[in-house]
Structure 1
Amino acid sequence: MSFYVIVQKGSSCGPTLACFQRSHIFTYTLTTGRAALAIIDYAYTGKLEIAMDTVEGILCLANDLMLGTVSKWCEEFLYSILNLDHIHFVWDLARMGNLSSLIRDCIRKMQETFQDFICRDSFAKLSLDALIQVVQSESLNVQTEDQVVLAISQWTGSLKHTDGTERLPDLLREVRWNAVSNEAWQRIAGDENVIKLFPHFSDYMKACKAGCGKANDPLIPCPFNRKARCYNKNITLLIGLDNHQNQPEYTFALHDVSKPRESKIICKMPGRKYASAVAFRDKVVIIGGYKPRASNTVMIFDLPTRRSKPAAPMKFSRTECSAVRCGDFIIVFGGKDHYWNHHASCELFRPLKNEWKQLPSSQTARRGAAMVSLEDGRVLLLGGDTGDTILTLVECATLPTDDWRANTAGTYNPFWRRLTPMHEARMAASACVLNGRIFVAGGVSRHNEILQSVEYFVPPKDEKAIGFWTVVQWMNQKRDTFTLLALENRLYAFGR
């Protein structure tokens, strides 16, 4: 197929390249000129070199000139660079070239890797049309709807201009607002970038608020997509500390329990030995530890952005302390200070306010106690090491679970009360709640032996009862300083 190339100069728009084939005329910018020259070389040599800076022009020319083979080569090249760093570029060219298979594969890849994708620079460069198609899916790879809201907020905040944002309301309608937490709701409701792009955003949010209670009624119009997502509940975040380096380092990894031999490292950051880590929504709060002395430092790691920031410090320095989430709060107990004295003190952290509140102390100072919370606000301390002995002791306190009731925390009298002790003394054990029962496993015994045993506690239903313990089947191996996790009605043990 023959065609002619003429470079026109002197126009008000700068030089252009005009390509004539028979009676048809095509006009391109000079950027496409390199692509035209590449196709001319191909016509003479039978060879065509496709690169990142020429693929757009070559694909455009190939489609206009109906060069099907060249279009196919461009598609193959785009597949070869289809990764999260270039996916916005590949998507744009797939749309331009009407490459339907590549379009579907781009969307599928963004949906399957959404939690990784939103941390890449390419996410901010994604077109609005592409983002709408990504978040439409019921199988979007997220653990909570909050991650979708935070991703939209992040995307709008990175926009350099408002061109092409007319469909922002369509994007917001794909959020399952009935599954969004109050914190994420408030955060985006006050997002100036979204309000700037969508002046009627506050009215839309009011309509969504009203529609949340009726989202399950198919006969009532809903202002957002009511199709429930299949949140990935099998994915959990693992945090490990490498003590073999001069500078201790945390490793954050995503683990799918349906694929027990696979874990995907997502990031690393400097760490502190014997710190406590507590999950709070899409964040991890890292508390205390020592480096090189016991610390009162608190760091918050944000999972969607993979970044950490300091939070308000504790009143006391603590290492080997106990910590657990209880509703909107995180409770921290015991541990050792920088003089290696054992703590009996207890503090309450309000992540939503970045504030600490002192709670009544226990009568028994100790480190390495297991700690769990129940949905009704009860917090239990299990075992621990006083320095003289390892305990079977079980203590319980009751707390509010909502941040607005923070002022009432610690007002129960007595605050700590003793329940039935465990069958076996333990420190550095792990505990979790499964179907209302508290399971405790492993740890170190009074004879300094690592334990393999497991027992569960049935909490009392009234203030006068003290509950009871039952010994169950042991773990397959001895463990201490590990994590016991309840997921899908099963117990999982992570760590040594």
Structure 2
Amino acid sequence: LQYSPPPPPPPHQHILFLPILLQHFITPSQPIIFHFLFILSYLPLVLFSSFFLDVMDGGRLHAHRILLAARIPSLRAALSRSLRKGNTVLSLTAENLAPTWAFASSLKIESLMETCIHLMQTQFKSFVCTDLFVNLPADTVLSLLRSDDLTVDSEEEVFAAISNWAGPGTEDVNERLKVHAPMMLREVRWLQTTAEFRNRLMESHPMFQNNFGCSRLMNLVVQWMNCADKDKLSCPFNRNRRPPQTFLIFGADKNQKGWLVLSFDSDLQREERVADMIWHHNATYSVVGGSIFEIGGDYSTTVEEFLTKERRWRQRAPLTVGRSMHAAAVMKVEAEGGEKALIGVFGGRKRTYLSSCEVYDVSQDRWSKLPDLRTKRCGTAAASLPGDSRVFVFGGCNDSGRLASVDVCRLRGDWQEKMTSAGTADFWWPAARMRTARSGHAATPFRGKILIAGGNDGQKDLNTVEMFSPPDVTCPRGQWTKLAPMKETRRDFCLLTSPDAVFALGGNAHSCALL
């Protein structure tokens, strides 16, 4: 169709102009083709916010959608073909986010602005690298940071985004750093960061060297973190966990008729059945991103990955040595382009006690052998602190009885090259022994320490709890502190943590308790 548009009508004729224009293009025998979108680009959208026409097949043509496509070229495909089910909805993507946001914010279209903000939240990791993020107004950035559903792997990414938005400079020349950065830093979930990360920021990051408001906030954060009775102090930051924490429990249903995966909220009050499973006795479960890896059990080499968002299982590369009653821990090492997640598997039993170890590269779905432990051990526990490349393997048992010894190793970015020549003595070294020798116990990181609870000492099940402070300059082998005991004895159970609490679940006690 060829059409030469008339001169633009006066503003009061805009409402009448659109129906007249449409008559040139919509006929009973023609599909609805919108070659006229360029004509509409000068029309003020505000006049059309509730204007629509009934079109073929019972469809309804909204004028604001036409103008949206007219103003934003990357959205035109959704309206440039026949009006069918497949193209009646405009899709917002990373490619058209910038012009859509400019369009929506300039005309204060709140519903469209909310849609844009939702996309910014779900694609936050890639979005913060764009010019659009850096140019967002402070109130919009603050609303993003306040979201509990922000899609990030760690709060370090949130801090990096704030630093990128605030930019370099001193508070005298940078209003963003002086006025807005301290408020934004309150939205970092500091409970989900490590002491090492916080100390590194205070010591060397320009934001805290050049700005009194930012450094004062970090001092308040550290003061609150170190306070024994945190309820007496007002928390200077947002304590909500991001994303909202969910516990997944693997085991038998209450009628013992099958095995399943249950989802609980962080208070263990609301329960939902999310999947069935094949049970492997004495397997381990490790969380990496949105996946949970079930490793070994029943002396098998089986490895299965549970995709939490898709609620389904898939097979992964098998262990090189089948095992049960082993320990597993997730660690992250430096790699090209960022960090790499690894799962270490240590000891266990298969016809005899094992000292063998192996490590799983999650991104490559591949197992590699590690040097053997210093001591054979099964019924052991392992843990690694966030931001710390060391792995600690605690206790267990072998032919000599229950063990109190602790083995330590460190994996660095070049671990694969060094594994070909490293032996046990080069790779493992001892840490301070536990106060109580035990097996069948549980271990978990918590606020920069590692908690050890329960187990069996060879004569009885235990309710004792110990806290391990990892080795540092002042205490090269680490230090143990006795804590209050659990209310029940537990063996072969698990510990789960939230920002403010530790839960002991299952085992021989068949119950849940708050430590």
TM-score range, shorter chain: 0.5 to 0.7
2:464 to 446, 450, 453: 453
> Is the 2:263–2:272 Cα contact (8 Å) retained in structure 1?
yes
Match of residue 493 from structure 2: 482
Structure 1 residues 181 and 438: alpha-carbon distance in aligned structure 2, compared to 1, 3 A threshold: closer
Match of residue 83 from structure 2: none
Match of residue 288 from structure 1: 296
CA–CA separation in structure 2 for the residues paired with 1:261 and 1:133? 31
The answer to which of 321-330 and 485-494 deviates more is: 485-494
Match of residue 272 from structure 2: 264
CA–CA separation in structure 2 for the residues paired with 1:359 and 1:383? 19
- Per the TM alignment, residue 133 of structure 1 is displaced from its structure 2 partner at its CA by 3.5
> Is the 2:245–2:498 Cα contact (8 Å) retained in structure 1?
no
1:407 matched to 2:395: no
Structure 1 residues 389 and 275: alpha-carbon distance in aligned structure 2, compared to 1, 3 A threshold: same
**1:310-351 deviation line (CA, Å, top 9, x unaligned):** 2111110011211010112110011122xx322110001110
CA–CA separation in structure 1 for the residues paired with 2:254 and 2:400? 29
Unaligned runs of 5+ in 1: 1-10, 15-25, 33-56, 65-91, 97-124, 150-169, 186-209
The amino acid of 1:261's aligned partner reads Q
Match of residue 250 from structure 1: 260
CA–CA separation in structure 2 for the residues paired with 1:234 and 1:286? 23
Match of residue 45 from structure 1: none
SS in 1 for 2:277: strand
1:332 matched to 2:345: yes
Match of residue 355 from structure 1: 366
Match of residue 107 from structure 1: none
> Is the 2:326–2:381 Cα contact (8 Å) retained in structure 1?
no
> Is the 2:253–2:260 Cα contact (8 Å) retained in structure 1?
no
1:468 to 446, 466, 479: 479
CA–CA separation in structure 1 for the residues paired with 2:322 and 2:473? 35
Match of residue 434 from structure 1: 446
CA–CA separation in structure 2 for the residues paired with 1:281 and 1:350? 13
CA–CA separation in structure 1 for the residues paired with 2:470 and 2:118? 41
Structure 1 residues 244 and 180: alpha-carbon distance in aligned structure 2, compared to 1, 3 A threshold: closer
Match of residue 83 from structure 1: none
The amino acid of 2:445's aligned partner reads V
- Per the TM alignment, residue 481 of structure 1 is displaced from its structure 2 partner at its CA by 2.1
> Is the 1:256–1:263 Cα contact (8 Å) retained in structure 2?
no
1:136 matched to 2:86: no
- Per the TM alignment, residue 234 of structure 1 is displaced from its structure 2 partner at its CA by 4.9
1:341 to 318, 327, 352: 352
Number of aligned residue pairs: 330
> Is the 2:241–2:499 Cα contact (8 Å) retained in structure 1?
no
CA–CA separation in structure 2 for the residues paired with 1:231 and 1:363? 38
> Is the 1:278–1:324 Cα contact (8 Å) retained in structure 2?
yes
> Is the 1:253–1:267 Cα contact (8 Å) retained in structure 2?
no
Match of residue 379 from structure 1: 391
> Is the 1:241–1:273 Cα contact (8 Å) retained in structure 2?
no
**1:5-47 deviation line (CA, Å, top 9, x unaligned):** xxxxxx6479xxxxxxxxxxx9665x65xxxxxxxxxxxxxxx
The amino acid of 2:246's aligned partner reads T
Structure 1 residues 425 and 243: alpha-carbon distance in aligned structure 2, compared to 1, 3 A threshold: farther
> 1:7-406 to 2 correspondence within 5 Å?
12=29, 128=91, 133=114, 136=117, 180=152, 214-217=164-167, 232-242=242-252, 249-257=259-267, 260-290=268-298, 294-327=299-332, 328-337=341-350, 340-374=351-385, 375-386=387-398, 389-400=401-412, 402=413, 405-406=415-416
> Is the 1:300–1:310 Cα contact (8 Å) retained in structure 2?
yes
The amino acid of 2:242's aligned partner reads N
SS in 2 for 1:215: helix
Match of residue 161 from structure 1: none
CA–CA separation in structure 2 for the residues paired with 1:300 and 1:460? 33
CA–CA separation in structure 2 for the residues paired with 1:471 and 1:357? 36
- Per the TM alignment, residue 489 of structure 1 is displaced from its structure 2 partner at its CA by 4.1
> Is the 2:275–2:312 Cα contact (8 Å) retained in structure 1?
no
- Per the TM alignment, residue 405 of structure 1 is displaced from its structure 2 partner at its CA by 4.9
> Is the 1:372–1:431 Cα contact (8 Å) retained in structure 2?
yes
Unaligned runs of 5+ in 2: 1-27, 32-52, 66-87, 93-110, 128-135, 168-173, 178-183, 189-239, 333-340, 511-515
- Per the TM alignment, residue 362 of structure 1 is displaced from its structure 2 partner at its CA by 1.4
SS in 1 for 2:301: coil
**1:342-364 deviation line (CA, Å, top 9, x unaligned):** 21100011101111111111132
CA–CA separation in structure 2 for the residues paired with 1:298 and 1:344? 20
The amino acid of 2:302's aligned partner reads T
Structure 1 residues 420 and 488: alpha-carbon distance in aligned structure 2, compared to 1, 3 A threshold: same
CA–CA separation in structure 1 for the residues paired with 2:461 and 2:432? 23
Match of residue 206 from structure 1: none
The amino acid of 2:346's aligned partner reads F
Structure 1 residues 464 and 491: alpha-carbon distance in aligned structure 2, compared to 1, 3 A threshold: closer
CA–CA separation in structure 1 for the residues paired with 2:301 and 2:463? 32
CA–CA separation in structure 2 for the residues paired with 1:231 and 1:470? 28
**1:462-485 deviation line (CA, Å, top 9, x unaligned):** 599323322111112222222223
| TM-score for the superposition, normalised by structure 1 | 0.55
**1:369-413 deviation line (CA, Å, top 9, x unaligned):** 01111333111111112255222221111222x4x6543458474
Match of residue 154 from structure 1: none
The amino acid of 1:324's aligned partner reads A
Match of residue 211 from structure 2: none
Match of residue 193 from structure 2: none
- Per the TM alignment, residue 285 of structure 1 is displaced from its structure 2 partner at its CA by 1.1
SS in 1 for 2:417: helix
CA–CA separation in structure 1 for the residues paired with 2:277 and 2:465? 33
Match of residue 37 from structure 1: none
Structure 1 residues 216 and 363: alpha-carbon distance in aligned structure 2, compared to 1, 3 A threshold: same
SS in 2 for 1:407: helix
> Is the 1:234–1:487 Cα contact (8 Å) retained in structure 2?
no
> Is the 2:382–2:391 Cα contact (8 Å) retained in structure 1?
yes
Structure 1 residues 240 and 459: alpha-carbon distance in aligned structure 2, compared to 1, 3 A threshold: same
> Is the 1:323–1:333 Cα contact (8 Å) retained in structure 2?
yes
